[in-house]
């Protein structure tokens, strides 16, 4: 029997359509990526991107490289604060900064192919760029997100993350902050889920699980076990453990050749830092778009079982 489930704290619902469930291997996608003649993100083509902001290592051949997005979604503007005209028309300039983090110099590799050390360089780049972008006038929130595969919104094949700092705190973050509360409901959720049938993987400082009201087949959330708000509050071991846990999940998605997005949610006041990994193996259709209720044909308990199988 299909089951209607609510998100842990948000007013967001899904239908877990158990009768539509498929085996994990039935979700596997074929690689249909186009092969470009020239890759702007490859070594030797640095002059084809906007000016470099930073690189790791700092000199010589780079492993991670950061620059502004040539086709930025936000930019400079005068109207940084929202204003409303005639009751219904609220607006501002989309002020901020849009950057690209190229995660490896090897065009043939993607994040799920990286080592923990290589992924740590990426995380360190995230931390440094958040700190700098937050200083820009008008920026109220910095969103780190990754698109992998056409179905997830990728337009350039060479693996990369995007960072957008802009003049708005996203409503989902504000809602999570409000409903999570000062006592942090996520801390309690982690304690429950790390021992449930939805558990995926944990190490000494991070835990991951398939969320109870998963919107996507094989959706996975990762939380530090210690209550921290931001990436820059993590200790060195916690950063390495984050890389370990995230790579574990992405390497399992590699078995399905899955397109995916991931997004980092961090707190403005007290929200528990977490990463949401959202595989894009199903298309939202009329029901989802018309109601806001998502139909998911992969129960999170079965998704977690797939993740727990040895790599």
CB 265, CB 175: distance < 8 Å? no
DSSP H helices, the chain, are 116-133, 171-180, 185-193, 236-255, 286-291, 300-308
**Is pLDDT of 216 > 70?**
yes
Q: What does the pLDDT average to over 223-239? A: 97
Residue-wise pLDDT tens digits, 235-258:
999 999 999 999 999 999 999 999
- What strands lie across the sheet with 160-166, from one edge to the other? 52-56, 64-68, 96-102, 160-166, 141-148, 260-265, 274-279, 220-224, 206-209, 199-202
- Binning pLDDT at 50, 70 and 90, where does residue 35 land? low
Q: Which residue has the higher pLDDT, 189 or 34?
A: 189
Q: What does the pLDDT average to over 142-146? A: 97
Q: What is the pLDDT of residue 58?
A: 66
The residue ranges of every structural domain in the chain are 3-308
pTM of the entire structure?
0.93
Residue-wise pLDDT tens digits, 263-275:
999 989 999 999 9
CATH of domain 3-308: 3.30.428.10
**Is pLDDT of 31 > 70?**
no
- Binning pLDDT at 50, 70 and 90, where does residue 298 land? very high
Secondary structure (DSSP) of 193-215: HTTSTTEEEE-SSEEEE--TT-S
CA angle centred on 33, ends 145 and 71, rounded to 5°: 45
Residue-wise pLDDT tens digits, 94-119:
999 999 999 999 999 999 999 999 99
């Amino acid at each position: 029997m299909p089951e209607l489930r609510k998100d842990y704290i948000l007013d967001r619902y899904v239908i877990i359509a158990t009768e539509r469930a498929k085996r994990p291997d039935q979700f596997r996608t074929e690689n249909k990526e186009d092969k470009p003649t020239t890759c702007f993100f490859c070594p030797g083509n640095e002059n084809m991107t906007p000016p470099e902001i930073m690189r790791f290592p700092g000199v010589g051949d780079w492993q991670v490289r950061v620059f502004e997005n040539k086709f930025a979604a936000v930019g400079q503007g005068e109207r940084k604060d929202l204003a409303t005209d005639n009751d219904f028309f609220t607006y501002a300039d989309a002020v901020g900064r849009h950057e690209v983090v190229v995660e490896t110099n090897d065009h043939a590799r993607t994040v799920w192919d990286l080592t923990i050390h290589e992924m740590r360089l990426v995380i360190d780049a995230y931390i440094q760029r958040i700190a700098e972008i937050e200083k820009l006038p008008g920026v109220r929130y910095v969103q780190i997100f990754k698109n992998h595969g056409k179905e997830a919104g990728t337009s350039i094949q060479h693996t990369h993350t995007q960072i957008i700092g802009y003049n708005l705190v996203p409503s989902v973050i504000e809602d999570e902050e409000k409903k999570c509360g000062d006592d942090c409901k996520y801390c309690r959720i982690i304690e429950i889920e790390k021992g449930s049938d939805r558990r995926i993987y944990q190490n000494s400082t991070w835990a991951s699980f398939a969320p109870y009201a998963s919107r996507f087949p094989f959706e996975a959330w990762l939380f530090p076990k210690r209550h921290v708000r931001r990436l820059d509050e993590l200790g060195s071991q916690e950063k390495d453990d984050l890389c370990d846990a995230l790579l574990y999940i992405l390497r399992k998605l590699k078995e399905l050749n899955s397109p995916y997005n991931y997004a980092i949610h961090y707190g403005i006041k007290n929200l528990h830092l977490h990463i949401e990994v959202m595989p894009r193996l199903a298309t939202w259709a009329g029901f989802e778009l018309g109601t806001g209720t998502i139909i998911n044909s992969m129960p999170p308990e079965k998704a977690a079982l797939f993740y727990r199988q040895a790599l």
